[in-house]
Chains A and B, each alone.
Chain A
């Protein structure tokens, strides 16, 4: 190889051009094949993260809203339930009183009618006994008279018996 000795030549003008050319080519190639795509994906990620943060914030706000809503609903349901229980209690009290009053009147009525019936039965029984006593005494008297008593005595006896029966009542 026949190279020119470096000391004698001074400036390597060719190297300058070559270095410039190579650097610019490298710059262009890297921009197209490496840095461009890399920057693209970094930008994409940045946007993705920003979007995710936005979405997360939005869903958080939504969750907060829902929670608030649920809390309100729970509170409402609780007061409603309280009201229902209260109502039921009140109604139960009223109903109890009603039932008791009804039962009381019913029992009074039954007692009353029972008393009435008893009175009637007693009345009937006394009447029946009186009748029977009268007929019995007539029977007895007629038997006795047949043997020894006169008609006057008989009258007197009957009246005495009747008197006695009337007093016994």
Chain B
């Protein structure tokens, strides 16, 4: 059941070509959807523009539920992009996977811990950056000693724990979903009876995976805003 990853070394770094392909595909899909839906903008929105505006309002709601819009407005673009990118990435591995020459080429890019942890580190890194930028270094540093000075080690651990859980939660959910889909497809559907037997659980699990993928995209965006608000807001 385990497929190899198409790795190539380049300049001392290892590149997983399958990940690069899927990252590019996911980015391209998000970009195309976004541009198509905002190509004909009107004061009186119709069709897909309504959908995009709904997404914007949705992300605005997420941000507003965690922090003041005065602070959080700058993260609006980041939030929408994260939500759509993670959602599209989660969906990519659902309809099929492509295995060529025992290498797994087509999958969800978020089914790789390296990718999800990269996004998580980006988010946490951004939270520190904006913490320093908006509150100043002194106040940013003081946050680590609140409410008591001996909480400092715990606060440091919290940062790493946040990063790890943020990335691994997404990875685990999507990877597990793909593994089960792969098992159903490869192990069960080997003959005619197996095909028929696998059809229903496949259908159910794919439907559930769509749900999980959407929920995980929402959770990822939500937690991003929570971490950002912890660093940015003054009342914490």
Contact = CB atoms under 8 A, between A and B. Distances in A.
Interface of A: 1, 3-7, 9, 11-20, 22-23, 25-27, 29-31, 33-39, 41-42, 44-45, 48
Contacts of B219: none
B226 to A, nearest CB: 20
B193 interface: no
A39 B69 CA distance: 15
13 contacts: A9-B7, A11-B14, A15-B14, A19-B119, A22-B24, A23-B27, A23-B81, A26-B30, A29-B31, A30-B30, A33-B38, A34-B31, A38-B41
A80 to B, nearest CB: 50
B38 A18 contact: no
Interface footprint category on B = 35 or more
B134 interface: no
B122 to A, nearest CB: 6
Given A4-B8, A19-B118, A35-B77, A14 B15 contact: yes
Given A30-B31, A30-B77, A31-B77, A19 B115 contact: yes
A34 B119 contact: no
B13 A17 contact: yes
A27 B7 contact: no
B103 interface: yes
Nearest to A16: B118
Contact of B4 (A6, A20, A41): A6
A9 to B, nearest CB: 5
A25 B115 contact: no
Contacts of A41: 41-43
Interface of B: 4-10, 13-17, 19-20, 23-24, 27, 30-31, 34-35, 37-38, 41-43, 49, 52-53, 56, 76-78, 80-81, 85, 101, 103, 109, 112, 114-115, 118-119, 122
Contact of A9 (B14, B17, B38, B101): B14
A4 to B, nearest CB: 5
B154 to A, nearest CB: 27
B27 A38 contact: no
Nearest to B19: A15
Contacts of A5: 4, 7
Lowest 6 CB-CB distances: which A-B pairs, in order?
Answer: A14-B15, A34-B34, A14-B13, A6-B5, A19-B118, A13-B13
Contacts of A1: 6, 101
Nearest to B5: A6
Contacts of B78: 27
A146 B37 CA distance: 157
B172 to A, nearest CB: 18
A48 to B, nearest CB: 6
A35 B80 contact: yes
B27 to A, nearest CB: 5
* Of listed A17, A20, A30, residue having the most chain B CB within 10 A: A30
Nearest to B57: A42
A38 B73 CA distance: 15
A12 B7 contact: yes
A30 B34 contact: yes
B171 to A, nearest CB: 13
Nearest to B6: A3
